Amino acid sequence: MSNISNKPHANWFNRRGWRDIIIVAPYAWLIAFFVIPFIIVIVMSFAKTATESPPFAFLPEWPYIRFETYIRLFSDSLYIRSTFISLYNAAIATLLCLLIGYPMALGITRVNKSAQRLLLMLIILPFWTSFLLRVYAWIGLMGKNSWFNQLLTVIYNAVVPSSWEVTGFQLMNTNFAVVLVMVYSYLPFMILPLYANLEKLDMTLNEAAMDLGSRPWQVFKDVTLPLSIPGIIAGGLLVFIPASGELIIPSLVGSAADPMIGRVIQQEFGSNRDWPMASTVAVALLLLLVVPLVLYNHFEARAGKAGGT
């Protein structure tokens, strides 16, 4: 206590007012823009649809609420299927992001500081153009007559026997397209936390492992990989969570027959005007995503304890 108050710089923060404002501000934000709206969503999920505006109403007598939408969530295969497709696509995209992003992040840590800054700039550079624009660019790339599709076709035809040859790939409106564009869009969210983690690792640990007889691959397996697990988890969740709720990518390049859950929510709110059902799906999605988050925090706390040095 006494040595904190001795530091003049720490004093302004210790005056009650400032400290309280700084602590309260993020909570106020969270309550105003997340907790209250979400409570409204939860309440709506127990209502029924109505023709007037807003298009939902509560039952006129006790118990005023109904659970019909929750029953429908499990009885109508659309919701379960779209949930599975969402989780599946998100999982594949996360795995691919990890496989592509890990070597990139590791590579960035192994060059000099100014090259590191340049490479990180390049990683962040796509954010300077509109996300929608980039997805539309992919639509152009994936069309049957695009050079990208033609290139894939030529490579494919060169490898397979002539009876398997194709004139072009159906890329648009497939799950493949969704995963491809999601990997492209979310790759920076994998690379940046991985880089932050790998950059902190003490290179003398690698030297120590090498000194004790480990070849470079073993050094990676025994030292770098286990110590980067917190970065893998952080990057994985930053990709997986938004990917599983993704709306724009599946809407623009995905297949209508295999909808992802974000698209289902949008349809229920929009064209179906079934706000209670949309709310129910949203609640279900949030629960699905909160579970990994809680797991993440658990891992973080454990990693914080283990990597105390």
Partner 1 sequence: METEEQNTESSKAGFIRIESVTKKFSDFVAVDNVSLDINKGELFALLGGSGCGKTTLLRMLAGFESPTSGRIFIDGQDMAGVAPYDRPVNMMFQSYALFPHMTVSGNVGYGLKHEAMTPAQRQDRVKEMLSLVQLSHLADRKPHQLSGGQRQRVALARSLAKQPKLLLLDEPLGALDKKLREHTQFEISNIQYKMGITFVVVTHDQEEAMTLASRIAVMDQGVIRQIGPPSHIYENPSSKFVAGFIGSINMVGGEIINVKGDTVEVLAPTLGHSLQVSTSSTFSVGEKVSLAVRPEKISISRKRPATTANLLKGTVQDFGYFGKDSLYRIKLPTGHLLSVNTVNAQRLSGEEATATWEDEVYLTINRDAAMLFKGDA
Contact 193, 235 (CB under 8 A): yes
Q: Which of 53, 114, 145, 309 binds partner 1 (CB under 8 A)?
A: 309
The size of the interface with partner 1 (CB under 8 A), counted in residues, is: 20
User: 193, 231 in Cβ contact below 8 A?
Assistant: yes
Nearer to partner 1, 36 or 208 (CB): 208
Q: Residue 257 — φ and ψ, nearest 5°?
A: -75, -25
Considering the rule CB under 8 A, would residue 214 count as an interface residue with partner 1? Answer: yes
Contact between 97 and 183 under an 8 Å Cβ cutoff? The reply is yes
Tokens, residue 288:
């699905």
Contact range with partner 1 by CB under 8 A, out of 130-138, 188-196, 201-209, 233-241: 201-209
Helix axes 229-244, 275-306, angle to 10 degrees: 180
Residue closer to partner 1 by CB (options 22, 301) is 301
Which pair of tokens denotes residue 178? 């969704």
The owner of tokens 């007889």 is 213
- Is 222 an interacting residue with respect to partner 1 (CB under 8 A)? yes
In the complex, what is the shortest distance from the CB of residue 274 to partner 1, in angstroms, rounded to a whole number?
50
As measured in angstroms, the least distance from the Cβ of 116 to partner 1 is: 20
Residue type, 33: F
Q: How far apart are CA 191 and CA 179, in angstroms?
A: 17
Verify binding: residue 165, partner 1, rule CB under 8 A: no
Verify binding: residue 208, partner 1, rule CB under 8 A.
yes
Please tell me the distance from the alpha carbon of residue 56 to that of residue 10, in angstroms, as a whole number: 52
Tell whether residue 211 is a contact of partner 1 (CB under 8 A): yes
Residue 202 or 300: which CB sits closer to partner 1?
A: 202
Contact between 307 and partner 1 (CB under 8 A)? yes
How deeply is 29 buried, as exposed, middle or buried, from its count of CB atoms within 10 A (0-12, 13-18, 19+)?
exposed
Restricted to residues 226-265, the positions that interact with partner 1 (CB under 8 A) are 226-227
Nearer to partner 1, 181 or 209 (CB): 209
Neighbours of 300 (CB within 10 A): 13
Residue-wise DSSP of 204-249: HHHHHHHHTT--HHHHIIIIIHHHTHHHHHHHHHHHHHHHHT--HH
Least gap, CB of 107 to partner 1 (angstroms): 21
Residue among 87 and 210 whose Cβ is closer to partner 1: 210
Of residues 210, 252, 286, 288, which one binds partner 1 by CB under 8 A? 210
Task: Name the residue nearer to partner 1 (CB basis): 140 or 304.
Answer: 304
Closer residue to partner 1 in complex, CB, 61/211: 211
Complex with partner 1: residue 293 or 306, whichever CB lies closer:
306
Q: Closest separation between CB of residue 115 and partner 1, Å?
A: 16
Closest to 292 measured CA to CA, from 254, 220, 249, 239: 239
Q: Is 205 in the site for partner 1 (CB under 8 A)?
A: yes
Pair 216, 210: CB distance under 8 Å = yes
Rg of the chain over Cα atoms, rounded to whole angstroms, equals: 25
Please report whether residue 223 would count as binding partner 1 according to CB under 8 A.
Answer: yes
Contacting positions for partner 1 (CB under 8 A): 202, 204-205, 207-215, 222-223, 226-227, 306-309
